[in-house]
Amino acid sequence: MDEFEILEEIGKGGMATIYRGRLKSSGQIIVIKKLHPHLKGDANFVKRFKREGKILEKLRHKNIIGFYGFREIQGEYFILMEYIQGLSLRDILRKNKTPLLIALYITKEIYEGVGYAHKNGIIHRDLKPENIIIGKNGDIKIADFGLAYGSEFPRVTEPGMYVGTPEYIAPEILMGKEYSEVSDIYAIGVILYEMVKGENPFRGKTPYESINKILYRKGMDFGDFPSFLESIISKMVAMEPKSRYQSIDELRKALDLYITINKRTFKQYLLAPEKFHEEKIIKSKTIKNLRMLVLLIILLIAIIFYNYFRYCNHPKVLQTRNIRKVERKMDTLKVEKHPRNPIKTSLTNPIITGYGWLKVSAVPWAGVYIDNKFIDRTPVGEPIKIASGKHIVIFKHPRRGEVVKTVYLNKGETLRVNVILSYGYLKVVVIPWGYIYIDGKKVAETPIANPIPSIPGVHNLLVVNPGYREWREKINISRGETLEKHIILKK
């Protein structure tokens, strides 16, 4: 090999051996990835190896391992790459969990590289701590694009077949669906959780146990995670792909606000982790932010007073004030306390004469019916004047059902009627899995991360899996409550 020489073996995987090498022309240290000799006769593995080289050639980014070339020499296949003196993220996690600010910074560098790949039509498909390289100089690089694919590159696995390490694979992939950008975002979420918590939430004793933990998880233990981080990670690893951040740009908007350290601070952490004091950094940033906030508030108040002073002393404003004083006096003579006409209904008690008023409100909103007559839609600005006696008040919402109230109104009385039209909820666990229908309408496919909102009342539940018997059941969902169903389908 005239171009380079192999110095030492530094790693070995299922497909290739990794060496530290040197370019003979410049003496530069590089990484040499060599396809295993017993695989060079397998066209599928050779295609995958060549594809990795083409993908790396297309991706030039500070957070992606550098590519120097693909070589075929005497029937042997090599990829020449950038050498990073440092450790993998897995090596760091074996020692201890990562401080929050450091974990957020590493996550940022990961999603910047992944985002660049996505914009170039490449999905990594195998993001995990082993494939994140952290240099002593503070560089963070994504490596191993052997399982990646994109629209320009041929597949090496059949659709519906999953590849990669199980505990970082999104649930939809395990269920036979396609990889997508949100599958990579899911893996980044698991890595972030693992850095902060110190353990992978889905790691099992066997791959099958890991898969079961992913598909049938009951929740994640966030312990003392800050609420903002719990919310962000929960969205990143949501069971339903549509419930996750749909792009790296969306994820960046959610996380960037909380990333408060730079590469210099990160490098200092790498040199002396035991001297890293997260509290001091947060405190200094907080003081700096408070100073900026105080200055902005002072500036804003000054601008408000200046504009108010100019406005109050403007000649046209002074003239308008005098006109309004006259208009108010005229309006006072015309306004009635309750201008609505009284509502006469069949349920009004004929013995009690006179009128009262109803003040109604509904959350989120509702159509208001009194004795089956439509009155208004909330919010209703003024009290409703009706004949005293007994009345039936119904609040109707198209997706939340209705609430019925019976009221007794005395002459001259003002009565408040406030209702909350909350959903009822259905939480379903189906083994192995199924399509969920409520009253003939498909509403979900298990596994489902969140309970299904539903109109309170009696419904027909149907669970369908093509390989199993249908499950049918009448269910009664109560307002504001969650009905849990655990269903095991039979052949």
Residues 396, 475 within the same domain: no
Q: By residue range, what is the domain housing residue 78?
A: 4-82
Angle between helices 227-236 and 181-197 (to 10 degrees): 140
> Is residue 315 included in any domain, yes or no?
no
Sheet of 457-464: strand order equals 441-445, 435-438, 457-464, 471-477
Q: Is 440 within the bounds of a domain?
A: yes
State yes or no: pLDDT of 340 exceeds 70.
no
Q: What percent helix, strand, coil does the chain show, rounded to 5? A: 35, 30, 35
Whether residue 226 sits in one domain with residue 109: yes
Position 363 in a domain: yes
Tell me: do 414 and 441 sit in the same domain: no
Residue 460 within a domain = yes
CATH number, position 453: 2.60.40.1120
pLDDT, one tens digit per residue, over 289-321 is 667 778 888 888 888 877 766 655 655 444 545
Q: What tens digit of pLDDT does each residue of 418-469 get?
A: 998 888 889 888 888 889 999 999 988 888 878 898 888 899 999 998 888 9
- Same domain, residue pair 360 and 440: no
Task: State the total domains in the chain.
Answer: 4
Residue 319 counted as domain residue: no
In terms of domains, do 183 and 235 share one?
yes
261's tokens:
């350290």
Q: Do 113 and 68 lie in a common domain?
A: no
Mean pLDDT of 30-53: 91
Domain assignment present for residue 458? The answer is yes
Same domain, yes or no: 132 and 74: no
Report the CATH number at residue 225.
Answer: 1.10.510.10
Task: Tell whether pTM > 0.75.
Answer: no
d(C-alpha 413, C-alpha 377), whole Å:
22
Query: Given a cut of 50, is residue 487 above it in pLDDT?
Result: yes
What is the CATH classification number for the domain harbouring 378? 2.60.40
Q: How far apart are alpha carbons 33 and 20 in whole angstroms? A: 9
**The CATH number of the domain where 68 resides is what?**
3.30.200.20
For tokens 């590469």, what's the residue?
263
One domain, residues 64 and 167: no
Question: Are 12 and 51 found together in one domain?
Answer: yes
Same domain, 224 and 260: yes
Write out pLDDT tens, residues 222-257.
988 998 999 999 999 999 999 999 999 999 999 998
Whether 402 and 431 share a structural domain: no
- Please check whether residue 269 lies inside any domain of the structure: yes
Assigned domain for 294 exists: no
Do 17 and 94 share a domain, yes or no? no
pLDDT of residue 347: 45
Q: Which residues are CB-contacts of 448 (< 8 A; sequence separation ≥ 6)?
A: 239, 240, 427, 428, 436
Q: Report the share of the chain in percent with pLDDT over 90.
A: 50
Q: Is the pLDDT of residue 83 over 50?
A: yes
